[in-house]
Amino acid sequence: MRVSENIYNMHIDDGAPSHPGGSNNFFVGDPKKEMVLIDTGDYQREWTKSILDYYTDLGSPRIIGILITHGHSDHIGGLDRLQEKFKCPVFCHPELSGKLKMLLGDQEAVKNLSHFQKLSVADIELQVLFTPGHEIDHVCYYLKSDSVMFTGDSVLGASSTSVRHLSSYLSSLKLIASYPHETVCPAHGPVVPPPRGSGLVEWQLNHRLKREEQILDVLRKGFSTASTITSEIYPRDLSDNLRFTAQRNVETHLEKLVEDDVLSQEESVYYFTGS
């Protein structure tokens, strides 16, 4: 599907429960000149084949680079096959380059990105934004000409993402919200077009900030463990799987509040610092 003048999306319903709304691999640029590919899907051969079939449908353009959003397996699974096919450099966060060099067995092919770097493809420019939070090696790409933010797994199209480090995640959302865009191209879930696309990142940011307020309220009422806080905030009838994710989410907030010195922790009990 063509998303905008310079963006083509190979959408795949990969069926992973953690990817509601399927997954996306984006070809960016001009199929008649040159393009880059953002992410390479998971290990399954069918996924790689879908990317290659889509590439053939585009007219087998020259691929001048593969850009990686982060090192989770559903983003680098098909990398070795696709890099072998395209014979192009692979660009990633410096934290990820060692792993990719091992994976490809090729020191030269992997290039470190830098924060705010601009990459030219055909007549357009993609801006690199380091956006740790979901993972430390996460990168978003901004395409000003098409008013599009490629959010990787930082902001998804149909669900909220998992967060490893909440403070960095919130700073990253603030950063990407500050680059004006109308469309969000996430790695999972549907592409979010205007008008909702322009407010989605900020919505996610506010959603997380509200959750923090909610957790503080529940702590003030005397609930003091991740488990009791989760039961108080989320519906009681959550499936075990969702409950696990919900509690993990609460724990991420509690860890941040301890880092911020708002809370102190003794084993599984949290209390307001100084109280």
Site for Zn ion in 25-44 (CB under 5 A): none
Of the residues 11, 12, 66, 74, which one makes contact with Zn ion according to CB under 5 A: 74
Total of residues contacting Zn ion (CB under 5 A): 3
Place of tokens 């075990």: 240
CB closer to Zn ion, 134 vs 229: 134
Which residue lies nearer to Zn ion by CB, 72 or 208? 72
Least gap, CB of 36 to Zn ion (angstroms): 19
**Residues paired with residue 23 on neighbouring β-strands, in sequence order:** 12, 188
- How far, rounded to the nearest angstrom, does the alpha carbon of residue 75 sit from its chain's CA centroid? 10
Work out how close the CB of 156 gets to Zn ion at its nearest, in angstroms, rounded to a whole number.
8
Nearest to 83 by CA among 67, 94, 72, 98: 67
Q: Tell me whether residue 58 or residue 136 sits nearer to Zn ion (CB atom).
A: 136
The smaller minimum CB distance to Zn ion, of residues 153 and 255, is found at 153
CB of 19 to Zn ion, least distance (A): 7
Q: Which residues of 75-107 are buried (b: 16+ CB within 10 A; e: fewer)?
A: bbbbbbbbbeebebbbbbbebbbeebbebbeee
Rounded to the nearest whole angstrom, what is the least distance from the CB of residue 85 to Zn ion in the complex?
22
Q: Which is nearer to Zn ion, 72 or 223 (CB)?
A: 72
State which of positions 227-246 bind Zn ion (CB under 5 A). Answer: none
CB of 187 to Zn ion, least distance (A): 5
Q: Where are the beta strands (DSSP E) in the chain?
A: 2-4, 7-12, 23-30, 34-38, 62-67, 90-92, 110-112, 118-121, 124-130, 139-143, 148-152, 183-186, 263-266, 269-272
Q: For residue 77, what are its two tokens?
A: 């699974």
Minimum CB distance to Zn ion smaller for 146 or for 153: 153
Nearer to Zn ion, 137 or 153 (CB): 153
First to last CA, the chain: 56
Q: And the tokens for 203?
A: 């919505």
* Least Å from the CB of residue 18 to Zn ion: 8
Task: Look at residue 248 and give its three-state secondary structure.
Answer: helix
Binding region for Zn ion (CB under 5 A) out of 69-77, 98-106, 194-202, 256-264:
69-77
Say how many C-beta atoms besides its own lie within 10 A of residue 13's C-beta. Answer: 9
Q: Which residue has the tokens 């990817």?
A: 19
Minimal distance, residue 74 CB to Zn ion, in Å:
4
Site for Zn ion in 145-184 (CB under 5 A): 153
User: Which residues are near Zn ion by CB under 5 A?
Assistant: 72, 74, 153
